[in-house]
Amino acid sequence: METLTPAPALARFGYAASDPTRARVLLTLSEAPSYPSDLAEALGVSRQSMSNHLTCLRGCGLVVAVPDGRRTRYELADPRLGHAIRDLLGVVLAVDPSCCAPDGACFA
């Protein structure tokens, strides 16, 4: 286990949230914990794809797996992440479409 300083922690969050499916997982988990099969169904992805996304989010330290009987429930690693995600939803960005593509590639 490694504790990151603010800049690398923010970079990991940015990497994790840069994928649309992972961003939707974070948004969903900011509302309430959930199970992988429920997340996959709600987001319209395969269970294998959801497993891969949850593995990435766990590796970035953003979510934790909580044993729940024979199942595993996922939740945000820190409740403050939910607050931060909800705060980010209120941010209005003036975007230059010639600068950054949806995949994060910059053209400038």
Q: What is the pLDDT of residues 76-107, one digit of tens each?
A: 999 999 999 989 888 887 877 777 766 656 65
In the prediction, which pLDDT does 8 show?
Answer: 87
CATH top-level class for 6-89?
Answer: mainly alpha
% of the chain at pLDDT higher than 90: 61
Q: What is the pLDDT of residues 40-87, one digit of tens each?
A: 999 999 999 999 999 999 999 999 999 999 999 999 999 999 999 989
pTM of the model: 0.82
Q: Pick from 63, 64, 66: which is nearest to 85 by CA?
A: 63
In this predicted structure, the answer to whether residue 9 has a pLDDT above a threshold of 80 is yes
Q: Where are the domains of the chain?
A: 6-89
Q: Pick from 72, 59, 66, 62: which is nearest to 25 by CA?
A: 62
